[in-house]
Amino acid sequence: MCYLQETMAFESDKTMFEIYRDNTYSGQYRVVYFTELQDHNKETEINRAMAGEHFFDGFIKNYGKDEAKQIIERILARMNNGEGVSAEDIVKELGDHLAS
């Protein structure tokens, strides 16, 4: 396999996400998985995230992605209940699910 094919496969093995605070509607923390957006919701979701207050972004590995999403949902629930969560806490909790 050539280097280009390996690089392309590697890039497709992760999902880009952002945690942000929705300043427009509810003030709640939300997550958007950019690489999973479809044409019908892409513009709306990106605009909503851009209007919000950025908190954390990164990539999760597609292998084990469902578990990583559950971790993110638990983090969001804690944040929306007023618990102070830092970027370092998110990195620690996602651990090996984070991709570079």
Cβ-in-10-Å burial (0-12, 13-18, 19+) of 98 comes to middle
pLDDT tens-digit map of 36-95: 888 888 888 888 888 899 999 999 999 999 999 999 999 999 999 999 999 999 999 999
What phi and psi, each to the nearest 5 degrees, are found at residue 40?
A: -70, -20
Return d(Cα 17, Cα 13) in angstroms, integer: 13
Q: What share of the chain is helix, strand, coil (3-state, %, to 5)?
A: 50, 25, 25
For position 12, what pLDDT does the model report? Answer: 67
